[in-house]
Amino acid sequence: MIPRVKFHVTSKEFSQLVYGVWRLSEDERGNSEKVVQEKIEFCLENGITTFDHADIYGSYTCEEIFGRVLKQNKSLATKMEIVTKCGIMLVSPNRPNNRIKHYNTTKAHILQSVENSLKNLNVEKIDLLLIHRPNPILNPEEVASAFYELRNSGKVSHFGVSNFLPHQVETLQKNLDFPLITNQIELSPLYIAPFTNGILDDCLQRKIAPMAWSPFGGGRLLQKQDELSRNVMNTIEKLANKYQFTEEEIILKWLTFPPHNIAPVIGTNKIERIKRYLQYTQVPMDIQDWFEIYSASLGKEVP
């Protein structure tokens, strides 16, 4: 079963494996309620109860596609935790006023974005709201003021950030009297910078769980699209053979290896692939196995 984790000691529980809906509108089988419901139910039945959204996914359409299923099946929403994000402004036919891709973290925009997300998703509450990207003109007092209002009105339970550097997390955190509970960052055997650039240390210091987006490198790793992917996959395949688990389970075990309490956010549209992820907690990976993958990604032995 997928472990339940608190992203901070004060937070509610989320599933350690999170299903991300960024690619929902790209499913080759389409976006009918039947197709989407099948994926949601498969996840829920297998303990993947946390769903990662953003206002912009599918050019502002994915929340609504997902929400149509929740509208028809009221009980589903009670079995899941909803994460969503705001702050990125896309040039899209669905946002004719956006002339250039930009960020907006004003109080008015954050409040409006949450209203849209609640309506599109057909839920009464967002479990976790993230500021999607650090904004060079972010006013932390204004973001904090929006967060307080959303928390007091009961519309959002917890707050966090995404793609923030430690000092950017701190600037916002200094304006809040409750903890930001996650920083959702890119992390995979193809992108190991957070292990050394201070981001994971920052999460440890704050005692918060990072969420890892594109845990399989957005598919590049498993498809062995480049030399780094091929080298890293050689090691992963060796460990998969040694322990008789799938390559994906080896990767997920590596990402969730202590002490960081990382929550991988998976993005496949295929249930058959998710089946290959489910037993990752059982992989008997030891420290040296972990370093085999890390060293393969570094391209050399650690110093």
What letter represents residue 102's amino acid? H
Q: Which of 269, 279, 281, 295 binds ligand NAP (CB under 6 A)?
A: 269
Q: Which of 238, 273, 294, 298 binds ligand NAP (CB under 6 A)?
A: 273
CB of 7 to ligand NAP, least distance (A): 14
Residues 221-240 that bind ligand NAP (CB under 6 A): 222-223
Contact status, residue 218 vs residue 23, Cβ threshold 8 Å? no
Q: Is 280 designated active site?
A: no
Short-list 13, 22, 11, CA closest to 52: 22
Q: At what angle do helices 247-255 and 227-243 cross, to 10 degrees?
A: 100
Q: Does 163 bind ligand NAP (CB under 6 A)?
A: yes
Q: Which of 144, 180, 181, 266 binds ligand NAP (CB under 6 A)?
A: 266
Q: Which of 84, 183, 214, 297 binds ligand NAP (CB under 6 A)?
A: 214
Q: Does 217 bind ligand NAP (CB under 6 A)?
A: yes
Kindly name the residue from 19, 57, 191, 277 that is annotated as catalytic. 57
Please report which helix (H) or strand (E) contains residue 159, including its range: strand 156-162
Contact status, residue 293 vs residue 239, Cβ threshold 8 Å? yes
CA distance 143 to 109: 10
Short-list 177, 267, 186, CA closest to 222: 267
Q: Which CB, 62 or 70, lies closer to ligand NAP?
A: 62
Which positions are annotated as active-site residues? 57
Q: Which residues bind ligand NAP (CB under 6 A)?
A: 20-23, 52, 162-163, 184, 213-219, 222-223, 265-270, 273
